[in-house]
């Protein structure tokens, strides 16, 4: 049982806890890059459609108030919502393009690699 008052205590002996080697991730492959790019592109397209839908909703429902503070806060909230959704779509689109370029780079490296004789 671990000693809850001592943050350095473990349920395993120190020699057993230090024996585990860190697992290295598998190298990227062309197929993994392309599937990741397609998934990120799908998310980017969905976020783009959501951005257009939110913009249309905000345009169809103007703010009805005589209070300047209410108008300013509502405009700030609408801008914040639109900005976050557009930023999310942009990040996914950027990731999609980057993964596709990585797949292209890996493919070129694989094709130009000279066979070992």
Q: What total of structural domains would you count in the chain?
A: 1
Q: How far apart are CA 69 and CA 48, in angstroms?
A: 30
- Phi, psi (deg, nearest 5) at residue 25: -70, 155
Q: Is 8 part of a structural domain of the chain? A: no
pLDDT of 82 higher than 90: yes
Q: Is 73 part of a structural domain of the chain? A: yes
pLDDT average, residue stretch 91-102: 97
Own/partner long-range contacts of 82-88 (Cβ < 8 Å, ≥24 apart):
82/51, 82/54, 82/55, 82/58, 85/47, 85/50, 85/51, 85/54, 86/47, 86/51, 88/47
pLDDT average, residue stretch 82-111: 95
Q: Is 3 part of a structural domain of the chain? A: no
Can you give the residue range of the structural domain that contains 92?
A: 29-112
Q: Is 47 part of a structural domain of the chain? A: yes
Q: Is 35 part of a structural domain of the chain? A: yes
pLDDT of 113 higher than 70: yes
Q: Is 15 part of a structural domain of the chain? A: no
Q: Is 78 part of a structural domain of the chain? A: yes
The 10s digit of each residue's pLDDT in 15-51 is 555 556 677 788 888 999 999 999 999 999 999 999 9
């Amino acid at each position: 049982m671990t000693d809850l008052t001592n943050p350095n205590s473990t349920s395993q002996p120190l020699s057993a806890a230090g024996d585990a080697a860190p697992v290295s991730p598998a190298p990227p492959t062309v197929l993994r890059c392309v599937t990741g790019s397609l998934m990120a592109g799908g998310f980017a397209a969905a976020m783009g459609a959501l951005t257009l839908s939110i913009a249309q909703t905000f345009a169809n429902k103007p703010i009805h108030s005589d209070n300047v503070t209410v108008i300013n806060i509502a405009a700030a909230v609408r801008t914040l919502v639109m900005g976050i959704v557009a930023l999310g779509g942009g990040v996914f689109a950027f990731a999609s393009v980057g993964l596709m370029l990585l797949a292209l780079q890996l493919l070129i490296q694989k094709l130009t690699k000279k066979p070992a004789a």
